[in-house]
Structure 1
Amino acid sequence: MNTQKRMKLGLKFGLFEQIHIRSFNTIETVGNRPPLFVWREDTNENGHSEEYIDYIRDSFLGAEFLTGYEVLDIHDNSQFWNSGGARGTADAIVVQSPQLAHPQNIIKLVLELKKKVEDNDEHQAIGQLIASNMISPLKPVVMLTDFSSTFQFYWIVPSQNPAYPAYPYFSCICMTSFNDIHQASTFARALLVPNQVIIYMSQENQKRLPLDERRMLIREFKPIYESVDDDIANLDDFIDEMGPEERASYEIKKKVRKILPLVPSRFHESVEEALRRYL
């Protein structure tokens, strides 16, 4: 997705193009310091799904901060994002009460994982932000990370700029970044368990946290300029931003899943497993 497409998508939902950077002082950390995740050179991101789901649950977030939450690998469900007209390709999500029939309605945190984060990956992260906020009323936050040196968080807030027409009814995207894994994990943990931040975090940092009441849900808007019939955050919009390996993998998956309805249902699970393992 290029800048023009991103602006077009943003205007459709009252999101202004400029991303607001929110800086934090050094965050007072909580819980154990997570180890860095080790990516295998000969395997793409999807091929690490079993390892990174366990890593997110047990190390990056930690069981003590996941009471009432579950970490899900949405590669197990090719139809997951095809709800409410929104489609995306995030790698993992954190949801509340996962026993519900439709976990996409209770997304709290979306994780977009890269072996190495590049500048153009931001477009894809913003696509996941819009897609997840169209589906879940919990105002999801998106984290773009390599679990090593780059940890970027994106969320949506009401516009505070009176220079914009009808500014109370518009919104903007905010972003903050960390290069320390313990500070990044603390930020994510605070989003999941906000009632504990008063114990360990300074008042200045508490005021900057994007807690639930400070975020905005874009589904509250009636889209402007265009019909909602258009696909929202369709990965096709991001194809120009992918690397050669990622683009080839995406195209193969797209073609295979297009013919999946013609394959006997008893083979669907095996096909999906092959896609996850080898692409």
Structure 2
Amino acid sequence: MTVDELLAETRHTLADTEAPATEARLLLAAALDRDRAWLYAHGGDPVPDAAAQQARTWARRRAAGEPLAYLLGTREFWSLPLTVGPGVLVPRPDTETLVEAALECIPEGEVRSVADLGTGSGAIALALARERPRATITATDRSPRALERARDNARRLGLAQRIRFLQGDWFGALGKTRFHVLVSNPPYVARGDPHLAALRHEPAEALIAGEDGLTDLRILAAGAPAHLLPGGWLLVEHGADQGAAVRALLEGAGFTAVSSLRDLGGRERVCRGRLPL
């Protein structure tokens, strides 16, 4: 079977995924250990049996709903190549909105202390460390598996010396330390949300937050003032329909300058508020 023939077969297998043609090329390129450009120039080349079998296996797993990032083992976030895998939430492009908002609260060239709560793969902490080299970054997660993944990403990207990794649930690992900025992409999906079926391969504890999706956001809003310096910022990602509820949580916790930011799709995605001076 040639490259082009196997691509056609793989696209058919992936017909119900978001981008069958793109995903077929990504899977076949990975199975052949080539880049996608090579596929265009070698469409008539035969595919070794082992590579063809690997591509078919991956395609079946992807068609069954397994995240593409788990199959490939990598996901790009903020132009950083991150390793990902089962047990760790796959970084989403929408979360780059959270990074952009946090950078606005961390003046370039100034020393600031930042904590990323529930770091997962380390995506947010690593992006902030890359963009703000004078900031001191702490990344926490209750999952040892996630923390190890985040540490591995930091080592590969040469940022391991810039980030302190601590195990603990939300503020549990911080002790009495206060920060200039707290940032988090917490679970925010309601327990009965129908979208969970499509996310069944990712860790439920990183997705589900009680009956209304706000359980962890409530914890973050209520606990943040005790871990922020005067004038410090709390920034959280949330669901597209939760903006008003999260603004109310931050205002109720005493934050000022509370506002929402929209993602690339125009949906409210991030809420931030400032602790009074």
TM exceeds 0.5? no
Q: Name the larger-Rg structure.
A: 2
Q: Which has the higher contact order (CA 8 A, sep 6+)?
A: 1
TM-score normalised by L of structure 1: 0.29
TM-score normalised by L of structure 2: 0.29
